[in-house]
Chains A and B, each alone.
Chain A
Amino acid sequence: MPLHSKHLLGLDGMSREDLQLILDTAVSFHEVLERPIKKVPPLQGKTVANMFFENSTRTRLSFELAERRLSADVLGFAATGSSVSKGETLKDTARNIEAMKVDMVVLRHGAAGAAHYLSRVINANVINAGDGSHEHPTQGLLDMFTIREKYGRLNDLHVCIVGDIAHSRVARSNIFGLKTMGARVSVCGPATMIPREIERLGVEVYHHLDDVLPHVDVLNVLRIQLERDAGRLFPSIREYRQTYGVTRKRMEKAGRVVTVMHPGPINRDVEISADVADSEHSVILQQVLNGVAVRMSVLYLLSTRG
């Protein structure tokens, strides 16, 4: 059964069947990653270009590893800043790379909709590796995979996303995917970081972490962008830490075992403290491994679709 779309642009609108297929397929690739020989041949002879227009270490390495594990030829391209500031448009850059007979393009870009746009102007499969504040679908998928690995299901679990929801592509992909799979999703953060009308996505909104903690199964803690609008979206790091910092003390007060996730990179002692990030309830490093498995799954399923 192939995926319904030629591209992975986002989890918004993706069917339950497709989500299920990606997650199920990732299970077998996860198993491959546990073997002594971690390489399988499905993408032999295929070329994947990783086009990263934004700084990224984790996602880029994870994709690259997933591609190599599937025996693909990998082309790396990193340019910081916008394509426009470099004088070449995204379209020209992508078409030039595609002209070298590339089968798939993984795109990380600072502008929302960049992957949608690219999918219209090139023939290769496009995988969105993060577009502005829009989506980061493979992150959403790996988060869902990790939760399912831990609980055996997604439906009826309560997942709360904490942090700057307004500017988070991780939050959006999580919300779209988890809602489709039947999870209960809430968001928690200062009012300045919760976009208006987010309720229409079917999520509950909290502003006080202690109100929601006693009711959640999973806490997905977002990275606070220290560089973003400090002093405008929130007064100070100190105040954010005191209000939204996830600490052991706070978790214990909630009186409930809560699984903690974080998409990384972590600002220790800002949004999360070491006694939580490194605790037995943290699945942060599992997320990293699962990321490779999920990306292998996506690459494989899109390649079989052509």
Chain B
Amino acid sequence: MQLLLTGGRLIDPPTGRDATVDMLIVDGRIERIGTNLSASAAQVIDLRGKIVAPGFIDMHVHFREPGFEYKESIASGCAAAAAGGFTAVCCMPNTNPPIDDESLVHFIHARSREAMGGLVNVYPVGAVTAGRKGEHLAPLAELAAAGAVAFSDDGDPVHDAELMRRALEYSAMFRRPIIQHAQEPSLSRGGVANEGYPSVTLGLPPMPRIAEEMMVARDIRLAEYTGGQYHVAHVSVAETLDLVRAARTKHLAVTCEVAPHHFTLSDEALATYDTNTKMNPPLRTREDIEAMKAGLRDGTIDVIATDHAPHSYDEKEVEFAQAPFGIIGLETAIGLAVTELVKKNVLTLYQLVEKFSTNPRNILHLPVIDIAEGSQANLTLFDPTAEWLVDPATFKSHARNTPFGGARLTGRPVGVMNNGTSFWC
């Protein structure tokens, strides 16, 4: 099987390349890179105006297997990832049972190899605490040895300060970040919406912004004290970015990610009580959206990650307070990022590739994707100018819980290649 990719713009941050090239792919391997390539036996794919980038990774997804396969399975999640332009994901451990021992890591690896011909690398995130109960450390060394790339109790914060300290100390021994769902639980308990004007008029129990800021402040102090590696999941408030910025000036191993909905929608979107505007952390204010964009621009935010959180139709078809938190994100990520960030001159396409590929791989200490003759092709191809209408009915994900149905977006994946196989959108 020979593919000739012609005229695409290769953006490859690890080598600094940004040039129009042709690429000959033979059986999933990069045979040649150059200009005016020809290969009579090859299928030619015209990529003029499109981007060829190292494979994108979404370092924050919830594939609900095992336990909640009716929401999303590893197979459907991988299909959604490929359709969204990702060749890798990190799946969070809030499954049932949770990913807190090596057998679960092996199970996820096995399942992901069966899905999409093994196209999508699924990197499990292990639980920080046994059973995600926040009481004792999970077997972090065992999990890491089995292939867990990071640890998190995502969905819940690691609340106990001493346990967080120990987790940072312990995981640093084998270079794994602790990913924190940063929220002081006693301040946000029972809340369903950002504390602010919309929550007042709508009468929705509030989640104050300071709950996030306080937890990040504590954790950064612990990261400094222990020398551990700390990553803030789905940042939602401006103050968190100030804390991360300050940590960077001290050269601490502190990084963070933002989800597309947090740089796109504000809490004003809750006005109709649409349960697809309910997520945790909640949508914040317009000022926070601007702060997220500023953080992306100045590099404080390293990563765009979707927090892809599938739920069934019926689970979201209830009163706002009773609906589960979360929306899906894999298949709208590139569209939202190009529409909100590239088109609005927040990020260049080059920087976008860094946030979707290079930076998360660095944080997770994953090998650099080598775009060179002789290497296995691990590529994301996307069209930064294609306009499209979001129709959740066409999603590969099992789930449809998105507030972006009907949105007109610019920027769309074209296809992905990885592990000797490919998917064309």
Task: Tell whether B197 is near chain A: CB-to-CB under 8 Å.
Answer: yes
Contact A134-B202, Cβ < 8 Å, known A112-B273, A113-B273: yes
Task: Tell whether A42 is near chain B: CB-to-CB under 8 Å.
Answer: no
Contact pattern, B 291-332, Cβ under 8 Å of A = 1, otherwise 0? 000000000000000000000001001111110000000000
Judge whether A109 and B319 touch: CB under 8 Å. yes
Judge whether A132 and B203 touch: CB under 8 Å. yes
Residues of chain B with a CB closer than 8 A to A116's CB: 272-273
Q: Out of B195, B197, B319, which one reaches A114, CB within 8 Å?
A: B319
Contact A117-B200, Cβ < 8 Å, known A112-B273, A195-B206, A196-B195: no
Residues of chain B with a CB closer than 8 A to A132's CB: 203-204, 321
Task: Tell whether B196 is near chain A: CB-to-CB under 8 Å.
Answer: yes
Residues of chain B with a CB closer than 8 A to A110's CB: 321
Residues of chain A with a CB closer than 8 A to B318's CB: 84, 89-91, 117
Judge whether B200 and A197 touch: CB under 8 Å. yes
**Chain A CB within 10 Å — which of B203, B204, B320 has the most?**
B203
Judge whether B319 and A113 touch: CB under 8 Å. yes
For residues 157 through 199 of chain A, which have their beta carbon under 8 Å from a beta carbon of chain B?
Answer: 169, 172, 195-198
The minimal Cβ–Cβ distance linking A64 to chain B, given in whole angstroms, is: 24
Complex alpha-carbon distance, A12 and B201, angstroms = 8
| Chain B residue at minimal CB-CB distance from A167 | B203
| Chain B residue at minimal CB-CB distance from A176 | B201
Residues of B within 8 Å of A, CB-based: how many? 20
Judge whether A172 and B201 touch: CB under 8 Å. yes
Contact A197-B203, Cβ < 8 Å, known A90-B319, A112-B321: no
The minimal Cβ–Cβ distance linking B267 to chain A, given in whole angstroms, is: 11
Task: Tell whether A82 is near chain B: CB-to-CB under 8 Å.
Answer: yes
Residues of chain B with a CB closer than 8 A to A169's CB: 203
Residues of chain B with a CB closer than 8 A to A89's CB: 314, 317-318
Task: Tell whether B205 is near chain A: CB-to-CB under 8 Å.
Answer: yes
| Chain B residue at minimal CB-CB distance from A118 | B319
Judge whether A195 and B200 touch: CB under 8 Å. yes
Judge whether B203 and A117 touch: CB under 8 Å. no
| Chain A residue at minimal CB-CB distance from B320 | A113
Residues of chain A with a CB closer than 8 A to B273's CB: 112-113, 116-117
| Chain A residue at minimal CB-CB distance from B317 | A91
Complex alpha-carbon distance, A83 and B314, angstroms = 14
Q: Out of A83, A121, A172, A200, which one reaches B203, CB within 8 Å?
A: A172
Contact pattern, B 189-228, Cβ under 8 Å of A = 1, otherwise 0? 0000001110111111110000000000000000000000
Judge whether B205 and A133 touch: CB under 8 Å. yes
Q: Out of A117, A121, A172, A196, which one reaches B320, CB within 8 Å?
A: A117
Contact A113-B204, Cβ < 8 Å, known A89-B314, A90-B319, A91-B317: yes
Q: Out of A83, A84, A112, A196, which one reaches B202, CB within 8 Å?
A: A112
Contact A84-B203, Cβ < 8 Å, known A91-B317, A196-B196, A197-B197: no
Judge whether B319 and A117 touch: CB under 8 Å. yes
For residues 61 through 103 of chain A, which have their beta carbon under 8 Å from a beta carbon of chain B?
Answer: 82-84, 89-91
Complex alpha-carbon distance, A113 and B322, angstroms = 11
Judge whether B202 and A111 touch: CB under 8 Å. no
The minimal Cβ–Cβ distance linking A266 to chain B, given in whole angstroms, is: 23
Complex alpha-carbon distance, A134 and B204, angstroms = 7
The minimal Cβ–Cβ distance linking B336 to chain A, given in whole angstroms, is: 25
| Chain A residue at minimal CB-CB distance from B196 | A197
**Chain A CB within 10 Å — which of B314, B317, B319 has the most?**
B319
Task: Tell whether A271 is near chain B: CB-to-CB under 8 Å.
Answer: no
Q: Out of B196, B203, B272, which one reaches A112, CB within 8 Å?
A: B203
Residues of chain B with a CB closer than 8 A to A135's CB: 203
Complex alpha-carbon distance, A116 and B314, angstroms = 17
Judge whether A111 and B319 touch: CB under 8 Å. yes
Task: Tell whether A131 is near chain B: CB-to-CB under 8 Å.
Answer: yes
Task: Tell whether A233 is near chain B: CB-to-CB under 8 Å.
Answer: no
Contact pattern, B 241-278, Cβ under 8 Å of A = 1, otherwise 0? 00000000000000000000000000000001100000
Contact A201-B200, Cβ < 8 Å, known A133-B205, A195-B206: yes
Complex alpha-carbon distance, A82 and B318, angstroms = 11
The minimal Cβ–Cβ distance linking A37 to chain B, given in whole angstroms, is: 40
Residues of chain B with a CB closer than 8 A to A172's CB: 201, 203
Contact pattern, B 169-203, Cβ under 8 Å of A = 1, otherwise 0? 00000000000000000000000000111011111
| Chain A residue at minimal CB-CB distance from B319 | A111
Contact pattern, A 257-281, Cβ under 8 Å of B = 1, otherwise 0? 0000000000000000000000000
Residues of chain B with a CB closer than 8 A to A109's CB: 319
Complex alpha-carbon distance, A198 and B317, angstroms = 30
Judge whether A133 and B203 touch: CB under 8 Å. yes
Residues of chain B with a CB closer than 8 A to A133's CB: 203-205
Judge whether A134 and B203 touch: CB under 8 Å. yes
For residues 129 through 151 of chain A, which have their beta carbon under 8 Å from a beta carbon of chain B?
Answer: 131-135
Residues of chain B with a CB closer than 8 A to A91's CB: 317-318
For residues 340 through 381 of chain B, which have their beta carbon under 8 Å from a beta carbon of chain A?
Answer: none
Residues of chain A with a CB closer than 8 A to B321's CB: 110-113, 132
User: Given known contacts A113-B320, A116-B273, A117-B318, what 15 new A-B pairs fall within 8 Å (CB)?
Assistant: A89-B314, A91-B318, A110-B321, A111-B321, A112-B321, A113-B273, A116-B272, A131-B203, A132-B321, A133-B204, A134-B204, A195-B199, A195-B200, A197-B197, A200-B197
Return 7 A-B CB contacts under 8 Å, by A number.
Answer: A82-B322, A112-B273, A113-B203, A113-B320, A117-B273, A117-B319, A132-B203
Give B contacts to A, CB under 8 Å: 195-197, 199-206, 272-273, 314, 317-322
